[in-house]
């Protein structure tokens, strides 16, 4: 019983280590959470589904996909640029900002899922820490991991939306702009890493 609780707690901490650090996914969640907490959580749910997919792929196909992992930097960078452009466009498009209901939530879920599957940080995490977690710690740690991710995608959008409620339009503008800039910055950085890996140069 104690061992199971320890494994669960370890998985919980690792789940938060995957979900909490600043990155393109949290930037996208923040931007969509300005519409409503549910929109941000839908993005996060897509990302969590991507984690589940990556977990299965990594566990069964690790040796097969490892040689091609460098190409994820280019694919992920391209997806991030596309999402950032959509984000900037929706900021100036009042109709896009009013998207709601099931269609809007499914669209945000798809965004989170696509970004999660092509995010080099997320893919790299599963090829390293995630693989170790599954091979050593077992199912309780995996359960803790997804509990940690779930707690973040529920609470973080609420915090972002509360900021909009109390700080108003300037806050919304700042979050949207900062989120788009962050995603473009990560895209450029990942593409840079991918180029270095392809040319076999050493990063400074």
Query: What is the domain count for the chain?
Result: 1
Looking at residue 167, its pLDDT comes to 75
Domain membership flag for residue 118: yes
Looking at residue 21, its pLDDT comes to 73
Domain membership flag for residue 148: yes
Looking at residue 47, its pLDDT comes to 93
Q: Can you give the pTM of this predicted structure?
A: 0.74
Looking at residue 173, its pLDDT comes to 67
Distance, in Å, from the CA atom of 81 to the CA atom of 136, rounded to the nearest integer, reads: 36
Domain membership flag for residue 204: no
CA proximity to 38, closest of 112, 123, 89, 135: 112
Distance, in Å, from the CA atom of 18 to the CA atom of 13, rounded to the nearest integer, reads: 9
Which residues of the chain fall short of a pLDDT of 70? Answer: 1-2, 62-63, 65-66, 69, 87-102, 128-129, 132-138, 168-173, 175-176, 179, 201-204
Looking at residue 172, its pLDDT comes to 63
Looking at residue 92, its pLDDT comes to 47
Domain of 48?
A: 2-199
């Amino acid at each position: 019983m104690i061992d199971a609780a320890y494994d669960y707690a370890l998985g919980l901490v690792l789940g938060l280590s995957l979900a909490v650090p600043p990155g393109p996914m949290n930037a996208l969640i923040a931007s969509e959470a300005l519409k409503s907490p549910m929109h941000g959580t839908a993005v996060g749910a897509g990302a969590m589904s991507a984690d589940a997919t990556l977990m299965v792929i990594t566990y069964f196909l690790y040796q097969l996909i490892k040689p091609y992992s460098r190409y994820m930097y280019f694919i992920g960078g391209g997806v991030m640029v596309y999402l950032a452009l959509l984000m900037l466009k929706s900021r100036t498009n009042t109709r896009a900002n009013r998207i709601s209901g099931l269609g809007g939530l499914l669209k945000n879920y798809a965004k989170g899922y696509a970004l999660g599957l092509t995010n080099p940080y997320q893919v790299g995490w599963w090829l390293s820490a995630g693989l170790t977690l599954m091979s050593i710690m077992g199912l309780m740690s995996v359960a803790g991991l997804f509990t940690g991710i779930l707690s973040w995608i529920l609470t973080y959008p609420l915090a972002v939306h509360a900021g909009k409620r109390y700080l108003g339009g300037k806050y919304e503008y700042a979050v949207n702009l900062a989120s788009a800039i962050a995603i473009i910055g990560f895209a450029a950085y990942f593409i840079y890493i991918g180029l270095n890996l392809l040319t076999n140069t050493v990063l400074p």
